[in-house]
């Protein structure tokens, strides 16, 4: 049996999966500038690129990156 290629190892939204198949969570120390490479230049407008994800979540009252992303969508209550 061959090891899956990295393309087959992709998760929802192109996120990378761990060896056990679970999607890795973003580390709270991930910088906003790094996240903008994945989510676009409009991600977290008004925030410095060197701000940490944990700080962004704390300031916005969100519990996760997914909750933050979905908070702007109509009909979503992710807090």
**Cα–Cα nearest to 66, from 23, 17, 34, 19:** 23
In a domain? residue 11: no
In a domain? residue 44: yes
pLDDT at residue 79 tops 60: no
Q: What pTM does this model have?
A: 0.62
CA distance 41 to 20: 31
CA distance 56 to 45: 11
Range(s) of the domain holding residue 72: 25-79
When divided into structural domains, the chain yields a total of 1
Q: For 5-59, how does the pLDDT look when each residue is reduced to its tens digit (9 = 90+)?
A: 445 555 555 555 556 655 556 788 999 999 999 999 999 999 999 999 999 999 9
CA distance 16 to 31: 18
In a domain? residue 1: no
């Amino acid at each position: 049996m061959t090891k899956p290629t990295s393309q087959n190892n992709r998760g929802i939204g192109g996120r990378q999966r761990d060896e056990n198949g679970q999607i890795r969570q973003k580390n709270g120390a991930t910088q906003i500038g790094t996240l903008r490479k994945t989510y676009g230049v409009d991600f977290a407008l008004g925030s410095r690129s060197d701000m940490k994800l944990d700080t962004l979540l704390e300031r916005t009252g969100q519990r996760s990156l997914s909750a933050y992303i979905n908070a702007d969508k109509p009909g979503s209550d992710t807090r």
